[in-house]
Amino acid sequence: MSEPQHDLVSALEADLRALAAADADLERDAEIAERTRIERSTITLRDRLRGCHGSVDVTTSAGSSHSGRVGEVGSDWVILQHVPPGQHVIIAEHLVLLSAVLSVRGLGRSMTAHISRIPERSARAVLRGWCRDRSEISTLIVDGTVVTGLASAAFADHLEVSTGGGATVSLPYTALAVISR
């Protein structure tokens, strides 16, 4: 083989090696992208809320919008803590039931899977604490109705709110969107 032919063959071999390496890179990139899509498909909204370190805006099926930093996340709820700009004091807490959430803005990319050995608190357990404290609450029902009063009792399937003058309203948990105090 002559020198020019040898150079041509060497150049062709180098081109083939470069094409094979580029093909392997593309295949690896495609596999990484597919693994990322598979892993993302296992991440819940709850996981993303747990990993959120800033403020979020939540829109609910009741037509309301609530903003605040994520304080605590349960299996089917999130507490948003409202702190006015420039202040450090929480002036309101909103217990938002995830079943009523239509959209969340401001989540970012962080996420945290739940790995605690301690059982999560239920929304009912949070509300029992608010009842113990006799918290003044505003309850937004999924149809947009608002019931205000004192958190009176958290039963197995409903919340009782004292609305004044000895009157109470019993609200099934399935009808609640947001409870604020």
Q: Does any domain span residue 150?
A: yes
Q: Does any domain span residue 97?
A: yes
Query: What domain range is 150 assigned to?
Result: 45-180
Whether 100 and 78 have beta carbons less than 8 Å apart is answered as no
Q: Does any domain span residue 171?
A: yes
Task: List Cβ neighbours of 15 (8 Å cut-off, separation of 6 or more).
Answer: none
Handedness of CA 136, 139, 51, 118 (dihedral sign): positive
Q: Does any domain span residue 66?
A: yes
CA–CA dist 157, 124 (Å, integer): 8
Q: Does any domain span residue 69?
A: yes
What is the pTM (predicted TM-score) of this model?
A: 0.79
Q: Does any domain span residue 136?
A: yes
Amino acid at 114: H
Count of structural domains within the chain: 1
Q: Is residue 155 classed as helix, strand or coil in its secondary structure?
A: coil
Q: Which residues of the chain have pLDDT under 50?
A: none
pLDDT at 112: 67
Q: Does any domain span residue 94?
A: yes
Q: Does any domain span residue 93?
A: yes
Q: What is the CATH number of the domain that holds 158?
A: 2.30.30.100
pLDDT at 111: 65
